[in-house]
Structure 1
Amino acid sequence: MKTATPAMARAINDRLALDLLLERGPLTAPQLRTLTGLSRPTVSDLIERLMEGGLVEVTGESGEDRRGPNARLYGVVAGRAHVAGVDLRRETVNVTVADISGRVVGSATRAVGGDLVDLVEGVLAEAAGERVLDTVVIGAPGLVAPRDGELVSSNDVPGWRAGLVTSWRERLGVPVILENEVNLAAIAELRTGTARGSEDFVLLWVDDGVGAAVVLGGRVRRGASGGAGEIGFLEVDGTAFCNLVSDVRGLGLTEFAARVAKGAFAFVTLLDPGLVVLGGESGRAGGDELAAEVAARLRVLSPAPTEVRASTVAGNAVLQGAVLTALDLTRDRVFG
């Protein structure tokens, strides 16, 4: 077992303080001492160190009820780095740019068409303006190979070709990560949605495409080839599950719930996640009523107790998951 060196202890304390500032907003030195349990000299040293490194700045003064001058408020330098999340689908590409604090500072949308390298570069430039991007995370349909981060096979996005991720990295000159779009939606659900606080769950995605994401132990599980959760290929009642639930026109709630439950049952039987989240446009549209119907069907099909909830992520879950992933990577790189 290694003994922590003074340098390692400083790095741990610095990251602890930065994470608290990100989570709670600007704090005073006394507040940092209370939240971290560190001594007055240690907190003073780390504040000075972080300010010299361009990571923390004085943002104002606290109106605390105490004698003497007001205490200074310290906050993260939000413009220290910027990230972009990209949601690239069959018809449109959406981009959100955020600073290192997570505040959205730009966005753009374009129709898909032409060369995808040029398209993504252009919409990123529009959303970022004069800001320099540190990391870009792109969500798209398909199996993303863990080995090289490229798609295992082509998807239905017009113009998709082999080697796109490499081309984006070369063109943009920054780290570019490709991730399955439903996996990114699951990250948003885990961090900000109805699955918050749940270590294990399955996100069943019923939208323009049909798929799922598996989260176990608080982490997205991708599988050996990136194919975990690709339930659309599963044959149900003699047809692919994606065909069974993708066209819901004319279906009543009861019939739709019965079909969704057949797909959810596969995950309940194999993984016993305890929670199934219904996401995507059609999955969310049914709300609590659809969730209750699916849960009732699962109780008949399986003895494993399974809660079913509708997604509560506001807005574009894929984009939010992409931004959150990019922020994690950038903060590790910038903050250490």
Structure 2
Amino acid sequence: MKTATPTLARAINDRLALDLLLERGPLTAPQLRTLTGLSRPTVSDLIERLRVDGLIEVTGETGEDRRGPNARLYGVVAGRAHLAGVDVRRDAVHVTVADLAGGVVDAVTRPLPPSPDLAAVIAETVAEAAGGRALNTVVLGAPGLVHPRTGLTTDSGVPGWRADLLPVIRDMLGVRVLLENEVNLAAIAEHRVGAAAGHDDFALLWLDDGVGGAVVLDGRLRRGASGGAGEVGLLRFEGREFCSLLEADVVRDLAPGVIADRIVQCVFTLVAVLDPGLVVLGGATGRRGGEELATLVARRLHDLSPAPTRVRPSAMEGNAVLQGAVLTALDLTRDTVFGGT
């Protein structure tokens, strides 16, 4: 087994310290020593190196309640880089710009006009939200299949959609841009900070103005060979597509038990094939139904499947797709700015 070179060891230690500063907030040098297990000279060198590189700064002092000099508090320079998450809907484009610490800088929503130049609308909305700030990474979420290697898409149903939307927007913005299926991004948000936090295996059933799914196994989002993993809206029950049975407008006035009867048909298919152990009901219907709907689905599923499966409503506040886009862009930006290890 090869040992780490001094350069690699420094890079690993630097990233460890930066991640701790992001996770726990400003820390002193003694706190960094305790949390990392590194020696005093190593932490001193690390702090000096990160300060010179403009990645951390002194944010205050602590220790006023004890004798002796106060200890400096160090924090990440949040404004060192900015990123954007974008949720492309059939009626509007939503953009959130955040800094390196994940703090929201600005958010803009722009309705889509009839027959829009979609790429131009997205680029203009991103630029408005950025407010002149240079962006490191932009992550877009949209309906439809996104090929995991080429980034080319199927028709999403969004006005003005084009299969080559990704390269066109990259040219317009002049920054790194990634395109991802919107339900996949919602699943990333649920996995990181929502109902699936702490679970390596789960399926998200998205019930909104569109119906779809996303699959996370062994802690990794699974896209499939062509980006079609989780597209449960195409399943047919009694001659009807699942999406036509459970779109938000269709179920709005139905009783919870009737909605649960429809949902469980799809959930049973997911459980029988994947055995995820957890199914999250997301989108407007999943959030509105809450624990009551999740419990009804779980009871019906128990009668159908021998595989133990928990069913939970989404725990996301606000736009889960947009939050997943920001989280994904944040990870990529930090890797770029902090350096890969």
Quote the residue 2:192 is aligned against: 191
SS at match of 2:251: coil
* Deviation for aligned residue 1:64: 5.8
- Matched AA of 1:329: L
RMSD: 0.9
Quote the residue 1:53 is aligned against: 53
Quote the residue 2:226 is aligned against: 225
- Matched AA of 1:230: E
1:133 paired residue among 127, 132, 135: 135
SS at match of 1:286: helix
Quote the residue 2:276 is aligned against: 273
Quote the residue 1:235 is aligned against: 236
Quote the residue 1:203 is aligned against: 204
Which structure 2 residues correspond to residues 1-336 of structure 1 after superposition, within 5 A?
1-63=1-63, 65-113=65-113, 114-151=116-153, 153-246=154-247, 247-336=250-339
- Matched AA of 2:313: A
Q: Which moved more, 1:198-207 or 1:106-115?
A: 106-115
* Deviation for aligned residue 1:249: 3.6
> Cα deviations across residues 156-176 of structure 1 (Å, max 9, x unaligned)?
000001211001111111000
d(CA) in 2 for partners of 1:241 and 1:211?
A: 9
- Matched AA of 2:128: E
* Deviation for aligned residue 1:299: 0.2
- TM-score, normalised with respect to structure 1: 0.98
d(CA) in 2 for partners of 1:64 and 1:148?
A: 56
SS at match of 1:133: coil
* Deviation for aligned residue 1:226: 0.3
Using the aligned pairs only, state the percent identity: 69
d(CA) in 1 for partners of 2:236 and 2:293?
A: 22
d(CA) in 2 for partners of 1:52 and 1:100?
A: 17
d(CA) in 2 for partners of 1:307 and 1:296?
A: 10
d(CA) in 1 for partners of 2:109 and 2:253?
A: 31
d(CA) in 1 for partners of 2:129 and 2:95?
A: 7
d(CA) in 2 for partners of 1:30 and 1:325?
A: 32
d(CA) in 1 for partners of 2:163 and 2:238?
A: 34
d(CA) in 2 for partners of 1:271 and 1:65?
A: 56
> Cα deviations across residues 245-270 of structure 1 (Å, max 9, x unaligned)?
11114321101001001111111000
* Deviation for aligned residue 1:190: 0.5
Structure 1 spans left out of the alignment, 5+ residues: none
- Matched AA of 1:145: H
d(CA) in 2 for partners of 1:86 and 1:110?
A: 11
* Deviation for aligned residue 1:284: 1.1
d(CA) in 2 for partners of 1:226 and 1:277?
A: 20
SS at match of 2:265: helix
d(CA) in 2 for partners of 1:164 and 1:239?
A: 31
d(CA) in 2 for partners of 1:45 and 1:73?
A: 16
Count of residues in correspondence between the two structures: 335
Q: Which moved more, 1:246-255 or 1:141-150?
A: 246-255
- TM-score, normalised with respect to structure 2: 0.97
Structure 2 spans left out of the alignment, 5+ residues: none
* Deviation for aligned residue 1:131: 1.1
* Deviation for aligned residue 1:127: 0.8
SS at match of 2:186: helix
* Deviation for aligned residue 1:277: 0.3
d(CA) in 1 for partners of 2:71 and 2:161?
A: 55
* Deviation for aligned residue 1:63: 3.1
d(CA) in 1 for partners of 2:64 and 2:145?
A: 53
d(CA) in 1 for partners of 2:9 and 2:2?
A: 12
Distance 1:68 1:290, change over 3 A: same
d(CA) in 2 for partners of 1:315 and 1:267?
A: 26
* Deviation for aligned residue 1:238: 1.7
- Tell me which stretches of 4 or more aligned residues in structure 1 moved more than 4 Å: none
